[in-house]
Chain A
Amino acid sequence: MTDTSDDSRSSTPSRRRFVTAGGAAMVTALAGCSSILGNGDDDSVSGSISLADFRGSGPLVSQRESPGGTSIEDLPDLDGELTLYLGGGEGGLYLDLIDLFEQKYDNFTANHRLEPSSDLANAIIQESEADATQADVFMAVDAGSLGAVANAGATAPLPDEALSSVRDSFQDGQGRWVGIAGRARAVPYNTDRLSASDMPSTVQEFPETGALQGAMGWAPTYGAFQSFITAMRLIRGDDETRAWLEAMLDHGVTEYDNEFRVSNSVADGELAAGFANHYYSLRVRSARESAPLELAFTEGDAGALVNVSGVEIVDGTDNADLAANFVRHVLSAEAQEFFATRTFAYPMIPGVAPVGGLPRIDELNPPDIDLTELADVDGTVDLLREAGVL
C-alpha cells in the first residue's frame, strides 16, 4: 500500500510519512514539469559537467524540479590544490562530489584524508597546536567533530554567502562551521510485520512495545547511533540512558555492523524494525522498489535527532580563498542536489527539496539541543560498554 502524494498532507504535519516509491506517487509539491534532464550516466565522464552529473538516478529521483540557490556557474572557478580532511564521507559518496568538482575544473585537485570524523578532529587540533596544520578544509559527517575543532580555536572565518544560505539551527552559533547535509534519525519498519500504528512515538516506549520484542536491530558501533545515544544522555541523563539501553537488550535486539545492514534486514523481514539514519532506507528502496519498508519518526526526543554533515576552514591554511570558494561550492544548487538525490540527505539550502515522500525538514520534530554538544562520544562509548551493548 502506498500513501498518496502531497495532497494528503494535512495542515498539522503528520508524524510519520511514507517513504513512497514509484514515479507517480513521488511527485513533490511543485512537480509537474517533467524533467528535461537526463539522468547522470556514470560513463559520461568528459567535457562539461552539468547538473545532470550531480543529480542521482533511480525511482526516487525522477520528476524533480530544478534546484534553486546559487549555481556553480555563478561562482568563481575552483583553482589550485586543496587539502581536505574528510571525516566519514558517507562510504565514499562525498568523494564522488569532490570527483565531480575535479572533473569540472581542470586546475583543481583535492588531496583527501578519509578517516573517522573524531580522529581527524583530534588530528587537526594537535597539528594546529604544533603549528603544522595540513588541512585547508575539514568536512565531517558529524557536527560534534566540527565543534571540537572550532572550540579549540583551530578554524578560520567562513564566507558570509555560505552562512547566510543555511538555517541557523544547522550552523555554529558563531559561524565557525556550517551544515551541508542533514540526516534524521528514523525507525525503519517492515510493513509486512508492522503497521504505522504499531510504532511508538517516543524512543522510551520501544522496550515496552510487545510487537517489537526480539525483532529490532541496531548498529551500536556506528557513529550516528552513538550520536543518538549522546543526544539521549544530554536530554535524559546517563542513568536513564543506561536503563533504556539495558531495557532494549532485555527486550531483544540484534547487533549489526552498520545501519545500512539494519535497514536491509528490516526490508528482508529478518527484523520488524530498527534504529537507523533515514537515508539508509531510501538507499534500500532505491535498489528494491517494492521492499516492504517504511520510516517512522519519533517526536521531540533523541530518536528524532537531526544531525548534519558540515564544513569548516582550518586556521593556518595558506589557501584561504580556495577554501572559501570550495565551501560555497558545497552549498551550491548542484552540490545540494547531489546530497539530496545521491546520498538522500536533507539539503541545507531552501531551494532544494528532499527526495520524494520524506517529510520536509521543518515538519520533523527534533529535540532542542546544540549539535556541537554531541562531541562527547567517549562518555557514550563508556556507557554503551557499561550497559553491555558494546
Chain B
Amino acid sequence: MGASDRFERLREQASGETTGSSAPRLLGAVTLAVSILLISPILWLFVHGAGMEPGRIVELVVSETATEVTLNTLVLVAGVTVASLFIGVPLAILTVQTDLPFKRFWTVTSALPLVVPSYIGAFAFVSAFGPRGELADLLAPLGIEQLPTIYGLHGTVLVLTLFTYPYVFLTTRASLLSFDGTVVEAARTLNHTRWEAFKRVTFPQIAPGIAAGALLVALYALSDFGTPAIMRYDVFTRMIYNEQQARNVDAAAVLSMLLLVMAMGILLVESRINASRDGAYVSGGDRRPGEIRLGYWKLPATLFCAAIASLCLVLPVGILTQWLVRSGTRPPGGFSFGISHVANSVGLAAAAAGICLVVALPVAYLSARGTGPLSSLPERLSYIGYAVPGVVIGLALIYLGLQFVPFLYQSVVVLVFAYVVRFLPQAVGATESSILQVDPSYIEAARSLGYAPLSAFRQVVLPLVAPGIAAGAALVFLTTMKELPATLMLRPTGFETIVTYIWLVRGAAYQGQAAVPALILVGVSGLSMLVILRQEGN
C-alpha cells in the first residue's frame, strides 16, 4: 500500500545519516505526500466532475431525484440531530447534576447504545415493529390488524436517534463534569431561580459541548448507509450506492459531491464552534454545583432512563437472542457463517489499525509540535476523510482502481486503504492529544544530551504517548469491524466478513441467520466503550 511504502522509505531515510535540520523537513514533506494520497479519492471525484459536461452536472443536480434526496437527507439529519438533543441532554443532566438513583448504572446504559451498529438496531426494530413483526404478532389476537409502518422517514429517524444520541450524551456530560459549580452558586445567591440559573449560567457554559455532540450526530446521520437502506428511506448514501451498483457513474459522482458539500458544511460549523470554545472563558474551579433534588420527579426521570435503555439495549439484544433461539441449526440456502468471516473481519481491522497507528504518529507530531505554517496541513487534510461517507470512498476507489491500478481492483489493499482514509482522524486525534501532554522541554533535554532527534523522540516521547496511540488504534480497529458500505463495495470476491455476511442474509430475508454475527459484532463493539470510558477517566 502506497502510504505505508512511503512511510517505510521515510523511516529508512530517517534512520540513515540525516542531519538534524533536514529531518523534520523531510518528515513534513513525506507526511504531506501521504496526506495527499489519502485525499486522492476525493480529488478523483472532483476531477471526474470536472470532466463532465457542465450541462449534465446541472441537469443531475436539479433533477427531481437529487432535489428529493437532498430534502430527504436534510430532514433526516435535522430530525435525528434535534431528537438526539432531546434524549442526550436530559440524560446527561440527570446523570451528572441530580440525585437520580443508581446514577452510575444509568450513565453506563445511556452511553452503551453507541456500541450497537445502527444497521443492527434497524434490523432489530424492523423485526420488532415491522409488518408481521413481533409486535404485530403480539397484537394480532387483540384484533389490531395493521400497525403503522416502521419504514420510511420516522423509522429512520427513530433508529438513528436511538443509536447516535450517546454522542450528545457524552459530550454534554463531559462539559457538565468540567464545569465550575461556583458560578451557579453565585447566580443563586443573586436570587436567581434554579431555572434562571440554568438558562443564564449553566447553559451557555455547556452549549459548546452539546453542539459538538450534535454535530457528530449530524455527520453520522448524513453518512449512514445501512439504516436508511433497511428502512427504505431514500437518502444520499442509499441513492449513491444504488447508482454505483447500476454503474451510473455520473449520477453517483454528482450525488457524492452534493453529499460531500453537506458534510463539509457540518465540519465547518464544528470547527467554528471548537474555535469559539477555545476562546471561551473557562473558570478553573472544580467544585461541583449542588445536586438538583428531583423530588417527585424521581420516578419519571428513572422511567425515562429505563425506557431509553430498554429501546436501545434490551430490545435489540432481545430480538437477536430470540433469532438465535429460533433459527435452526442448519442455515438455509448455503449461507453458513464460520470462523473465516470473523478472521477476515479481524484481519482487516488489525491491518487498518496498524497502518493508522504508524501514519498518525508523524501527522499528529507535526501538528502538535510543528512550527512551520504548513505543519498542521497534513492533520487538516487527514480530517477530510472523517467527513467522507463510506459510500463515497467506495465509489471513488472502485473507479480509481479500475482506471489506474486495475491489478489492485477488488483487492484487500484497496479496502484497507479505504479504512485508513476514513478512520485515520480518530488515530490522529487520540495521538495528538497525548503528544500535547508531553512537555517539549523533555525533548530539548534529550537533545542537549546528544541524542539525535529521532532517537530522542523514540526514547522520551514515545513511551509517554503510547497509551493515547493505543487508544486511537483500538478505535480504528473497532470502527473498521463495523464499517459497512465501503466493505460491501470493495471487498474481493469470495472474501466475506461479519458485516458482509449480515448484509447478505438480510438481502435474502433470512435475518435469523444474522443473530450470531450481529451479537459478535455488538460484543466486539462493546469493547470500544471501554476505550472511551478509559479515556474519560484520564
Contacts and interface: CB of A to CB of B under 8 A. Distances in A.
Interface string A314-333: 00000000000000000000
A115 to B, nearest CB: 7
Nearest to B491: A113
Contacts of B333: 89-93, 95-96
Contact of A132 (B132, B245, B402, B509): B402
Given A83-B494, A91-B510, A257-B509, A98 B334 contact: yes
Interface residues of A, number: 40
B493 A85 contact: yes
A39 interface: no
A135 B493 contact: yes
B242 to A, nearest CB: 9
Interface stretch (B98-106, B110-118, B403-411, B457-465): B403-411
Contacts of A93: 333-334
A130 B409 contact: yes
Interface in B490-517: 492-495, 504-505, 507-510
A112 interface: yes
Nearest to A98: B334
Interface in A154-179: none
A111 interface: yes
Contact of A116 (B245, B330, B402, B493): B245
B246 A42 contact: no
A123 interface: yes
B335 interface: yes
Nearest to B494: A111
B25 interface: no
Contacts of A89: 333, 508
A286 interface: no
Contacts of A92: 331-335, 505, 508, 510
A132 B493 contact: no
B200 interface: no
A85 B245 CA distance: 14
Nearest to A85: B493
Nearest to B245: A119
B504 to A, nearest CB: 6
Given A113-B494, A132-B402, A119 B504 contact: no
Contacts of A111: 492-495
A31 to B, nearest CB: 28
A97 B507 CA distance: 19
A191 interface: no
B247 interface: yes
Contacts of B403: 130
Interface residues of B, number: 27
A204 interface: no
Contact of B246 (A97, A98, A118): A118
A132 B406 contact: yes
Contacts of B508: 89, 91-92
B493 A83 contact: yes
A131 interface: yes
A115 B247 CA distance: 14
A123 B409 contact: no
A318 B261 CA distance: 43
A112 to B, nearest CB: 6
Contact of B402 (A97, A113, A130, A257): A130
Interface string B225-262: 00000000000000000000111000000000000000
B122 to A, nearest CB: 15
Contacts, number: 79
Contacts of B410: 132, 134
Nearest to B335: A92
Interface string B440-454: 000000000000000
A378 B188 CA distance: 66
Contacts of A112: 493-494
A1 to B, nearest CB: 29
Contacts of A99: 334
Interface in A235-270: 257-258, 260-261
Interface in B321-344: 330-335
A115 B245 contact: yes
Interface in A98-131: 98-99, 110-116, 118-119, 122-123, 125-127, 130-131
Given A83-B493, A114-B504, A126 B247 contact: yes
A42 B245 contact: no
A123 B244 CA distance: 9
Given A93-B334, A98-B334, A125 B247 contact: yes
Contacts of A123: 245, 247
A94 interface: yes
A187 B409 CA distance: 44
A122 B242 CA distance: 12
A312 B510 CA distance: 28
B340 to A, nearest CB: 12
A122 B246 contact: yes
Contacts of B409: 127, 130, 132, 134
B277 to A, nearest CB: 45
A68 to B, nearest CB: 26
Given A94-B334, A95-B335, A258-B509, A126 B493 contact: no
A92 B332 CA distance: 7
Contacts of B505: 92
Contact of B334 (A84, A95, A126): A95
A42 B330 contact: yes
A94 B333 CA distance: 7
Contacts of A260: 509
B66 to A, nearest CB: 15
Contacts of B510: 91-92
B96 to A, nearest CB: 44
A89 B493 CA distance: 15
B406 A131 contact: yes
A96 B406 CA distance: 32
Given A96-B333, A257-B509, A130 B406 contact: yes
A261 B335 CA distance: 20
A186 B249 CA distance: 37
Contacts of B492: 111
A271 to B, nearest CB: 13
A378 B247 CA distance: 12
A132 B330 CA distance: 37
Interface string B11-31: 000000000000000000000
Interface string B472-496: 0000000000000000000011110
Nearest to A130: B402
Interface string B373-416: 00000000000000000000000000001110011011000000
Contacts of A125: 247
Contacts of B132: 261
Nearest to A95: B334
Contacts of B247: 122-123, 125-126
A83 B494 CA distance: 8
B484 to A, nearest CB: 14
Nearest to A114: B504
Nearest to B495: A111
Between A89, A258, A260, the greatest number of chain B beta carbons within 10 A of the residue's beta carbon is seen for: A89
A42 B510 CA distance: 18
Interface string B121-132: 000000000001
Contacts of A83: 493-494
Nearest to A100: B334
6 contacts: A91-B333, A91-B510, A93-B334, A95-B334, A110-B494, A112-B494
Given A111-B494, A119-B245, A122-B245, 11 more contacts: A84-B493, A91-B333, A91-B509, A92-B332, A92-B335, A92-B510, A96-B333, A110-B494, A114-B504, A123-B245, A130-B409
The 6 closest A-B pairs by CB, nearest first: A111-B494, A95-B334, A92-B333, A132-B406, A122-B247, A119-B245
Interface of A: 42-43, 83-85, 89-99, 110-116, 118-119, 122-123, 125-127, 130-132, 134-135, 257-258, 260-261, 378
